[in-house]
Amino acid sequence: MTKPPPRKRNKATSAASADSIPAPKPDNQNVVTIDVSAVEVPELTEEEQSDRLLLERKVERAFFEAGKALLELHDRRLYRSTHKTFEEYCKDRFGYSRRQPYHLIEAAVIFDNLVEKCERNVHILPTNEWQIRPLSKLDADIQPEAWEQAVESANGKVPSHRIVKDVVQRIMERTKVPNNYQVGEVCQIIARDNPDLRGKGGCWAIVSQVNEFSCTVKIWNGELTVGLKHLKSYDYLTQDCENMQGICDRINRGE
């Protein structure tokens, strides 16, 4: 009986099988240690420290300078040669929304107040308008106290908008004044320290809604919300208030 010929091994298969077997690792591997020497950072010279402080002040005051410039542009009506309104001018020239220039103007006033009265934290000042926007809800006399509390809550650093807002809320709860105005009451608008009320100071207003810290009022050309500190009651009799309401309705209807 004839024996079958021996089977030939496929070289490719043999090679693949050999490759699939991991090569033995040496028992001792060489370990390379790299020594990194510490880099010494030179201390700032007195001149460099002075330059740093000056540049930091410029960054801090950037939004303040913008607010002061916008206030002058607004008050002197330096936009009148190209635009009918200040809002249109700011939108075309700077890309601002309708409210943004007024926020910057108000922030500049608050910043000035903090610089003047926050002696203890004179080197911790706001760096942008958003950080101090909540302070606009407080009287000028209380704003420095609120800012100092916010700096303390931020461990001596510039506080965020949220921290300032929380401090302002606590102060408002602590010093909460009841809103005693009534719907239909006739008041005078006090525009002091509120850029949104420019041109409306001394105008009469009729309360249409009583809110927690403000009143929604009707004036001769529309309706707006005003904080309690910007309103003063005329203390009219009920009949006088009703007469004023009738006059307001006729004006708004264009009669």
- Strand 231-233's sheet: what is its strand order? 222-227, 214-219, 204-210, 186-189, 231-233
Mean pLDDT of 109-116: 90
Taking only the tens place, the pLDDT of each residue in 169-209 is: 888 877 666 788 888 899 999 887 777 788 888 888 999 88
CA distance 82 to 88: 10
Using the 8-state DSSP alphabet, how is residue 139 labeled? -
Could you tell me if 86 and 194 lie in one domain? no
pLDDT at 254: 67
Q: Specify which residues 81 forms β-bridges with.
A: none
Asked whether residue 116 carries a pLDDT value surpassing 70, the answer given is: yes
Residues 205 and 134 in one domain: no
Domain span at residue 60? 51-174
pTM reported for the whole predicted model: 0.55
From the list 252, 247, 254, 253, the residue with the least C-alpha distance to 186 is: 247
- Residues 152 and 169: their CA atoms lie apart, in Å, by 16
Q: Which of 97, 77, 78, 72 is nearest to 87 (CA)?
A: 97
164 close to 146: Cβ distance less than 8 angstroms: yes
**Helix-helix angle 62-75:86-94, to 10 degrees:** 140
The last residue of a domain, from among 174, 201, 220: 174
Task: Kindly indicate the confidence band of residue 166, based on its pLDDT and cuts at 50, 70 and 90.
Answer: very high
On whether both 146 and 215 belong to a single domain, the answer is no
pLDDT band at 25 (very low <50, low <70, confident <90, very high): low
41 has a pLDDT exceeding 60: yes
Domain tally, the chain? 2
Per-residue pLDDT at 221 = 77
Does one domain contain both 56 and 132? yes
pLDDT one-digit tens code per residue, 120-151? 545 688 989 999 999 988 888 889 999 999 99
Beta bridge partners of 214: 227
**Residues pairing with 217 in the sheet:** 207, 224
- SS3 state at 189: strand
How many CB atoms neighbour CB 138 within 10 A? 20
Name the CA dihedral angle for 89, 90, 91, 97, rounded to a multiple of 10 degrees. Answer: -140
Q: Are residues 76 and 164 in the same domain?
A: yes
Using CA atoms of 7, 8, 12, 18 in order, give the dihedral in degrees to the nearest 10: 70
Q: Between 123 and 62, where is the model more confident?
A: 62
Asked whether residue 203 falls in the same domain as residue 242, the answer is: yes
The share of the chain scoring above pLDDT 70, in percent, equals: 80
Lowest mean pLDDT among 45-54, 88-97, 170-179: 170-179
Instruction: Evaluate if residue 234 carries a pLDDT over 90.
Output: no
Q: Please check whether residue 25 lies inside any domain of the structure.
A: no
Residue 118 lies inside a defined structural domain of this protein:
yes
Supply the CATH number for residue 227's domain: 2.30.30
Q: Assign residue 226 a region: left if phi > 0, alpha if psi is -120 to 50, beta otherwise?
A: beta
Q: Are residues 202 and 112 in the same domain?
A: no
Any domain includes 22:
no
- Structure confidence at residue 83 (pLDDT): 93
Q: Which of 77-91, 111-125, 182-196 has the lowest mean pLDDT?
A: 111-125
68 and 111 together in one domain = yes
Q: From 151, 174, 197, give the residue that closes a domain.
A: 174
Helix boundaries (H) for 10-156: 11-20, 46-60, 62-75, 86-94, 100-117, 129-132, 143-153
According to the model, what pLDDT value does residue 160 have?
94
What's the CA dihedral at 235, 238, 242, 243 to 10 degrees? -70
Please count the other Cβ atoms lying within 10 Å of the Cβ belonging to residue 197: 17
Asked whether residue 168 falls in the same domain as residue 208, the answer is no
Tokens 């699939």 correspond to 20
Do 211 and 145 share a structural domain?
no
Are both 228 and 151 inside the same structural domain? no
